[in-house]
Structure 1
Amino acid sequence: MTKAASPTPVLTVVIDGEPHLEYDRGKLLPESRLASLDRMDQKMDQGIRLGGESIKHPDRVQRAQFVALHLLEAMQEGDDALIAASCAYLASRLPDLHQVKARLAGDAVSAELVFDEPYTKEVAVDFIPRSS
């Protein structure tokens, strides 16, 4: 009997190599929030624009990429309601998602969904050469 993988406890949004947001999946969502996530899916059922392309029937990863880009825009604009909704969507619809890694370059924004690597802070290590 194989054990099902448990959901990643924390979803981390990393922008230009720095963590900016952590979403704790341990919090239970109220019914009203779950209903709003269902409405988000229903709206995306009508199609989305992603990377300048119209997608009539987006799959779960395309939907997540779309939501992740809106999350990044919301973070730039300080739209807390959209940030919360976007994080809740990503965390609940993709329980195996560890990170949203974003790069900002002027007006260009890119987002990568990372499923196989939890965020860990990188630590610089200084090596001191031995005296001979």
Structure 2
Amino acid sequence: MSEQSKDGSQRQGEERRESPRVPMRIRVRRENTSLAFDSREGNISLGGFAWFGAALSVGQKVEARFVLPGSPEELQVRGEVLHVAHGSRGSSAHVRFLDLPVETEMLIARYLDDLELAEDNANKGGGGA
């Protein structure tokens, strides 16, 4: 499904997100299991995360762990698989956060804001070495 953007152009569902997705190594497993966490390449955004590789089915609840660069602690989150895709990198599962603690949401938001600010500064020529 597409939607119309402010400039009148059509946008696909993947482009509607409010925050960027940034690459992140994510450890993930099915919720309420004693299985080991499986480490996967993926990405995070303010609303959820995705990973590449073995994808679970839509509706599956998962637990995930990841460390934001510059943070000393590993964040633990819960999510629900909303979409499973198959592309050039293989299968991927797209997950929305469930019951995300405010503190965790703020840490993620701050990290994403810092990345955007650094990118903006670099694009304006303010990030040179």
TM-score range, shorter chain: under 0.3
- Structure with more of its chain in helix, by fraction: 1
TM-score normalised per structure 2: 0.22
Bigger fraction of residues in strand: 2
TM-score norm. by structure 1 comes to 0.22
